[in-house]
């Protein structure tokens, strides 16, 4: 993690890094459009310690039930990806913020299930009340950003029916391994927004259970 001081906050670091790296959109009309949120929150009671919000999808969801995911969903007709991201954040977690809280946008990620995901990085005020919608969210986790510094965080496995490696990361804070697309998006956030590196993840594949 960058050293934080009185003149450089994590929020400024993220905004500056994302502004400096040109994101790569995907223009493919055969894909549905979706937006997800990388929501950054301050760890309560700990100065300069931050986390991102990760959800476990409800078991009764029509698609990707019981899987780990970032808050998000389909972009409705007439919506921008930013509007969709903020709407989904409110619908899933009860967090209401406006466009001023958006720090930047990562690369689009094409999924095996036929969607193009646009990840939007959002800063959440310290006093935000997280109220999960039980119809969509079974559980909410706060993943410490420092956990993304771990050695052996990233794992690559041989892909199925593809030369593309399957991407995953191991997160001790949730006691589970998570896979692309969620894992790939989180890791690009760490490399690009936190470290300021130009790191692309759209090449990485998903496990078969995430294809539908």
All structural domains of the chain, each given as residue ranges with its CATH number in brackets, are 10-210 (3.90.79.10)
**CA of residue 64 relative to chain centroid, distance:** 16
Residue 25 has pLDDT above 60, yes or no: yes
Least confident range from 45-59, 99-113, 143-157, 176-190: namely 45-59
Predicted pLDDT at 62? 62
More confident residue, 81 or 44: 81
More confident residue, 106 or 47: 106
Residue 190 has pLDDT above 60, yes or no: yes
Q: State the pLDDT confidence band at 2, using cuts at 50, 70 and 90.
A: low
d(CA 77, CA 63): 20
Q: Are 84 and 74 in contact (CB under 8 A)?
A: yes
Dump pLDDT digits (tens) for 117-165.
Answer: 999 999 998 778 899 999 999 999 999 999 999 988 999 998 777 789 9
Structure tokens that stand for 38 in this block: 């990388």
The shares of helix, strand and coil residues in the chain, as percent rounded to the nearest 5, are 25, 30, 50
Mean pLDDT, range 21-34, rounded to an integer: 96
- pTM here is 0.92
Mean pLDDT, range 171-188, rounded to an integer: 95
Residue 116 has pLDDT above 50, yes or no: yes
Q: Are 89 and 83 in contact (CB under 8 A)?
A: no
Residue 92 has pLDDT above 60, yes or no: yes
Length of the chain, in residues: 212
d(CA 28, CA 192): 24
Predicted pLDDT at 65? 60
Predicted pLDDT at 6? 38
């Amino acid at each position: 993690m960058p050293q934080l001081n009185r003149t450089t906050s994590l929020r400024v670091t993220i905004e500056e890094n994302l502004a400096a790296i040109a994101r790569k959109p995907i223009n493919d009309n055969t894909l549905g459009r979706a937006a997800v949120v990388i929501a950054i929150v301050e760890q309560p009671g700990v100065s300069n310690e931050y986390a991102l919000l990760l959800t476990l999808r409800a078991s009764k969801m029509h698609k990707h039930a019981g899987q780990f995911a970032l808050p998000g969903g389909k972009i409705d007709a007439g919506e921008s990806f930013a509007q969709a991201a903020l709407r989904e954040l409110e619908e899933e977690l009860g967090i209401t913020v406006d466009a001023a809280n958006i720090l930047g946008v990562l690369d689009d990620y094409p999924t095996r299930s036929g969607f193009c995901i646009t990840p939007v990085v959002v800063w959440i005020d310290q006093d935000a009340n997280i109220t999960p919608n039980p119809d969509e969210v079974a559980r909410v986790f706060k993943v410490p950003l420092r956990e993304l510094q771990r050695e052996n965080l990233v794992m690559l496995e041989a892909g199925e029916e593809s030369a593309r490696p399957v991407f995953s990361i191991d997160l001790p804070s949730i006691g589970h391994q998570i896979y692309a697309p969620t894992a790939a998006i989180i890791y690009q956030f760490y490399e690009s927004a936190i470290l300021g590196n130009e790191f692309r993840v759209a090449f990485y594949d998903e496990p078969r259970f995430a294809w539908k």
